[in-house]
Structure 1
Amino acid sequence: MSRRHAFVTGAGSGIGRAIALELAAGGHVVSLAGRRAGPLEAVRDEIRAAGGEAFVQDGFDVTDAGTVESGIAAAIEAAGDIAVLVNCAGEAPSAPFEKTDFALWQRVLSVNLTGVYLVTQAALASVRRAGDGRIVNVASTAGLTGYAYVSAYCASKHGVIGLTRALALELARTDVTVNAVCPGFTDTPLIDNALDTISRKTGRSREEARASLAHANPQGRLVTPAEVAHTVSWLASQGAGAITGQAIAVAGGEIL
């Protein structure tokens, strides 16, 4: 599947960056989509330095239908039809349910769930034209179970998994597969933000907060972005053509 076009949202940092690098290393031309140019350009330069090919789609707001449609169109013009779509853009603010106001709820659902809907709607015709298309949605173990103080996040990620399964069945008789990967606590900037919040609210040090998150993983550690990226790369491969509608936990045995 060398030189196929992969489109990755949230590609400027964390898991999205790792996925973009992994797909580029596997021979894909990668469109790097996100809101800020600087981080995307840094990933593009890293890919090019390794001999790969990448394009930046900055100003890409997954919650804005017009921006999404124009960004997808520009990516197709630059690199051809999208064979692999990876929806990775997301955010994970925390708050007790009683302090989760409507603005917070709406923002999290808009980015994490409606964003997947809008991007997939805009790209699906292209994915079908490309042949052996792959759609991979980055969900979370929070889409498979509940966690306290992140009710909006859990709701959004459960929604992503439901959307994944429904679309997989609609497309089952085509050559397009649709899957979700569900990372546990992963060593990314999102975790850094969570550590700051935990430390501020509990008085624990960042090291103690990190240890408490790692403890949720039976392996006693945080997942690495590269481990999530390897799973996405496998789902994007030709050998994974019979895998569809799945929500694959990358969490060290936290979810069985």
Structure 2
Amino acid sequence: MHLKGKHALVTGGGTGIGLGIAQALATAGAEVTITGRRLEVLEEQAGNGLHALQMDVADEASVVDGVASAIAARGPVQICVPNAGVAEGRALHKTDMSFWRHMMGINVDGAFLTIRECLKSMHTTDWGRVIAISSIAGLRGLPGAACYSASKHAMIGIIKSLAADHAAKPYTFNALCPAYVETEIITRNVESIKQRTGLDEVKARELMVGANPHGRLVTVAEVVEAAMFLCGENSGSMNGQAIQVSGGEM
């Protein structure tokens, strides 16, 4: 219960990686605000230290008001996990501004707004952690996904700059960069690959599994463990890092 008394906020906290991290933080004693656009999904997970908050990270007013209400209810945010994101591939020459802005609006603007609003309260405390969920695509170019790769690179840029700004302060800023993880995003990507390429479901899934060097999908639990280390008692010198959870990707 080393996080007892801490307030954590996890965007996209109703499913997948976000939910896994939120549950682990609650088990460690934190009161955790989980946010997302689908309130019914969040409310299904609420309880046992998890508190549902409907919030659209791409909408500035929604983030400002949402984070403020969470702070009013549970105190300053000391653990901020900008996790909400969209993942979809599209060739750059087929990418229109609507697709580009939608992805940037959630992956980049959403992370920026969430961190900005949480930092205002974190700065009133003597300890804080920001853990952004980026991707292996934030460290290298992902074929057929220039827009997605650009958005995940941008998240890491934000994190590294914040780490430099706060190097001598009791707050750390890190990004987790998973390879393909066993979540519902994989299911959606399988359908997208099938439509774009004509491959069947098995072969479409094999494309993602085969992209991970260890020949399997990363588990949510493996990403959660990395996040929990960054909230641990001896994590203060881990700052400004883009940590791969990718099965040996170089």
Query: Which TM-score applies when normalising by structure 2?
Result: 0.96
Counterpart in 2 of 1:252? 247
Separation in structure 2 between the aligned mates of residue 203 and residue 66 of structure 1, nearest angstrom: 41
CA distance in 1, matches of 2:198, 2:140: 27
Give the aligned residue type for 1:204.
Answer: L
SS for the counterpart of 1:231 is helix
Identity %: 38
* Inter-partner Cα distance in structure 2 for 1:19 and 1:247: 17
Structure 2 counterparts to residues 2-21 of structure 1, below 5 A: 2-21=4-23
Distance 1:89 1:229 in 2: 15
CA distance in 2, matches of 1:43, 1:237: 24
Q: 1:253 to 1:146 in 2, by over 3 A?
A: same
1:67 corresponding residue in structure 2: 62
Secondary structure of 1:129 counterpart: coil
Does 2:21 align with 1:25?
A: no
Q: 1:236 aligns with which of 215, 231, 236?
A: 231
Task: Give the counterpart of 1:211 among 206, 211, 214.
Answer: 206
2:77 to 82, 94, 99: 82
Aligned length, in residue pairs: 248
Aligned residue for 1:84, secondary structure, equals: strand
- The Cα shift of 1:27 comes to 1.3
- Tell me the alpha carbon deviations over residues 40-98 of structure 1, each in whole angstroms, 9 at most, x when there is no partner: 11121xxx3xxx3121111x111111111111111011111111000000001221111
- Contact 2:23-2:50 within 8 A present in 1 as well: no
In the TM superposition, residue 114 of structure 1 has moved relative to its aligned partner by 1.1
Distance 1:53 1:38 in 2: 17
Matched, 1:180 2:182: no
Kept after mapping to 1: 8 A contact 2:183/2:220: yes
* Contact 1:85–1:127 (CA under 8 A) maintained in structure 2: no
- Structure 2 unpaired stretches of 5+: none
RMSD across aligned positions (CA): 1.1
Contact 1:137/1:181, CA 8 A, preserved across alignment? yes
Displaced runs of 4 or more, over 6 A: none
Matching residue of 2:52: 56
Structure 1 residues without counterparts, runs of 5 or longer: none
Amino acid at match of 1:248: I
Aligned with 2:109 (options 102, 105, 114): 114
Distance 2:234 2:19 in 1: 23
2:140 paired with 1:145: yes
Taking the aligned partners of 1:217 and 1:93, their CA distance within structure 2 comes to: 17
Deviation digits for residues 106-165 of structure 1 (CA, Å, limit 9, x no counterpart): 111111011111111111021122321000100000000011221111000000001100
1:149 is paired with a residue whose SS is coil
CA distance in structure 2 between the partners assigned to 1:123 and 1:165 by the alignment: 17
Matched, 1:159 2:161: no
Q: Secondary structure at the match of 2:37?
A: coil
